[in-house]
Structure 1
């Protein structure tokens, strides 16, 4: 799964990188995004007839849900079932988005109750584009979103068995367009692109949602794991 990630780019940076119109409320950079936090996303706006940078609550809430509380359990949508599950299928068909991220966190148990945190990030420092879904809930049309996850591969599988579905730029148009063949849309990242992702050991402070700041993604001494 993906339960914590970092997204620290300004609206202007995201607008330039994704070639999108900025309609989002400015967000503070976060090195420790947690479920239900507000996050930036990229989606197609019929009103603007273009890609837009928007803001959503992390944890998708279907329009038929009685309230927003269930969103905390809907932060991820599995690629294997996203096209068929009642909660996600309508958004997969018509409301797909990109979720910008600097990287994401996972934990590996080392011994007893001890865990080592790892941060997965682009080796060249460029933003990552997670495949995402969005929905609008309630009379105020609160935007909510989920990250699509897939089976981890390569070195990433040594940290966790799941990872975000990351989309390179040439796949953004088809993903955002809606419709399409699910098998082609949900193809995992290529082996070459997987090798470009850095797996970085980081400190335990990221485990507390109250901690934030660039120190959370700084490398620490490697543990004997791989």
Structure 2
């Protein structure tokens, strides 16, 4: 998974996709995020479950433990390692969902510059991405060390035409189970490893190379390119 994505809808669109009836504790705001070309360390909307409530915060994309401050913050954690990697030990129990609209990959097609592609769901629904992190909650005020990482997986064909790795995307039922504090770590690992959305759920197409410039944030960046 490349470090570029879109999160342009508002928090209530993402909540509707999750279909969690519990009261929302919303620190992410009610307006559309309008992030068409986001990269680390962008503040992205992140969901976690706090008791019986769903909570939404804006949290920095990228994290490192306090004992590794000389290490670059990581933005992804490999699905086959994260549960047992000492780097992520402190945040592995802190499961979250980041709902995004699409992500981007760059492919070498033999030209002078790599070609960017946009990947999204065919049904245009938000992509519910498994994540872990350090984030605000009832007993933890916002902290300069807060951050999160996406869990990424081998794309196993289909999306592999674009890139070998993709975010672990879950259907709403599994996303709710992933978020539920009552879900055991063993079951969470099973969901993460075996039950994510298959490649046929997604579609991809070329977009304009202007997406490569982070100063470009126009909504037209997510439209198909005929070049």
In structure 2, the partner of 1:173 is 176
Q: Tell me, in whole angstroms, the C-alpha distance in 1 between the residues paired with 2:58 and 2:190.
A: 28
Matches within 5 A, 1:124-163: 124-136=123-135, 140-142=142-144, 143-163=146-166
Report the Cα offset of residue 186 of structure 1.
2.2
The change in CA–CA distance for 1:190 and 1:66 in structure 2 (over 3 A counts) is closer
In structure 1, the partner of 2:96 is 97
Deviations 1:124-159 (A, max 9, x none): 111110110111499852431111000013321011
Q: Do residues 187 (structure 1) and 189 (structure 2) align?
A: no
Structure 1: tracts of 5 or more residues without a match: none
TM-score (structure 2 length as normaliser): 0.84
In structure 2, the partner of 1:8 is 8
Matches within 5 A, 1:110-129: 110-129=109-128
TM-score (structure 1 length as normaliser): 0.85
Q: Tell me, in whole angstroms, the C-alpha distance in 2 between the residues paired with 1:104 and 1:163.
A: 9
Tell whether the 8 Å contact from 2:79 to 2:152 is kept in structure 1 after alignment: yes
Tell whether the 8 Å contact from 2:131 to 2:148 is kept in structure 1 after alignment: yes
Q: Do residues 45 (structure 1) and 50 (structure 2) align?
A: yes
Q: Tell me, in whole angstroms, the C-alpha distance in 1 between the residues paired with 2:14 and 2:25.
A: 8
Tell whether the 8 Å contact from 1:14 to 1:53 is kept in structure 2 after alignment: no
The change in CA–CA distance for 1:41 and 1:139 in structure 2 (over 3 A counts) is closer
The change in CA–CA distance for 1:28 and 1:139 in structure 2 (over 3 A counts) is closer
SS in structure 2 opposite 1:3? coil
Q: Tell me, in whole angstroms, the C-alpha distance in 2 between the residues paired with 1:36 and 1:152.
A: 24
Report the Cα offset of residue 187 of structure 1.
1.6
Structure 2: tracts of 5 or more residues without a match: none
Aligned with residue 206 of structure 1, among 211, 218, 221: 211
Q: Do residues 56 (structure 1) and 59 (structure 2) align?
A: yes
Q: Do residues 70 (structure 1) and 72 (structure 2) align?
A: yes
Q: Tell me, in whole angstroms, the C-alpha distance in 2 between the residues paired with 1:139 and 1:70.
A: 24
Q: Tell me, in whole angstroms, the C-alpha distance in 2 between the residues paired with 1:170 and 1:10.
A: 21
How many pairs were matched up?
Answer: 214
Tell whether the 8 Å contact from 1:63 to 1:135 is kept in structure 2 after alignment: no
